[in-house]
Amino acid sequence: MKAIGNIHLIWRKGKGSRRFSVGIIKRNATEGIRFHYNQEEVAEAKKQGFTAYEGFPNLEKEYVENVIDIFGQRIIKTERNDIGNFLDFWMIDRKYIDDKYYMLAYTQGLLPTDNYEFLADFNPVQGLSFVTEITGLSKMQIDSKCLKSDSSLRYELESDNPYDNYAVKVFTGELYLGHIKKIHCRVFHMAKKSLNISLHNIEKNGVLRRVFIKVTL
């Protein structure tokens, strides 16, 4: 899959907290799948309580064995009764369902039991299509009536953002909603033409709780 670059292991202290890219998973035709920690981000994350990911205890080591088997444990089991809905939500191409690297990249490896997620550094190839999420909603507390299933979205690059020069802001009309997730935002800066973004799913309870969007090229 040419669309998938490296996958970043993202950690944050809790909902609404800053995301840190604490590690990078790389796939290579000759060297297989490897994992190493991102020392600069780890140093900052440790100040907020980060410790090594289970199965990869040495923060200084590059891991070359069983990497995808360990991380792949976060991928939903295909024998589940609701697997069809899950695959449809994340827009999974069924021919890659047994490719753990692909599945981790496209489903983000989210679990309700911890604060990790896996965000792919997607490449701007023709036909690219993936689901991401708008961040910062918990701080914004936006009235849920401001966004409907047929609302249009637009984005603006924010290269001067003090925390991430790949930042991308998302709006509906003139209303600022939040940012594209860390790492996922990079493809917007790398693409030679504009990407399309559209609403994919909204979770709300008086205010917008989570907003998933579809990104296509």
The one-digit pLDDT tens for each residue of the chain (217 residues) are 799 999 999 999 998 899 999 999 999 989 999 999 999 999 999 999 999 999 999 999 999 999 999 999 999 888 888 899 999 999 999 999 999 999 999 999 999 999 999 999 999 999 999 999 999 998 999 999 999 999 999 999 999 999 899 999 999 999 999 999 999 999 999 999 999 999 999 999 999 999 999 999 9
CB 133 within 8 A of CB 15: no
What DSSP designation does 39 have? Answer: H
146-161 burial by CB neighbour count: b if 16+ within 10 A, else e? ebeeeeebebeebeee
The structure's pTM equals 0.95
Structure token digits, residue 50 = 């980060």
CA distance 44 to 55: 21
The vertex-190 CA angle with 185 and 192, nearest 5°, equals 125
According to DSSP, the residues that pair with 71 across neighbouring strands are none
In Å, how far are 137, 175, 180, 203, 209 from 212, measured between CA atoms?
Answer: 11, 17, 10, 9, 10
pLDDT of residue 1: 73
Output the CA torsion sign for 137, 143, 144, 146: negative
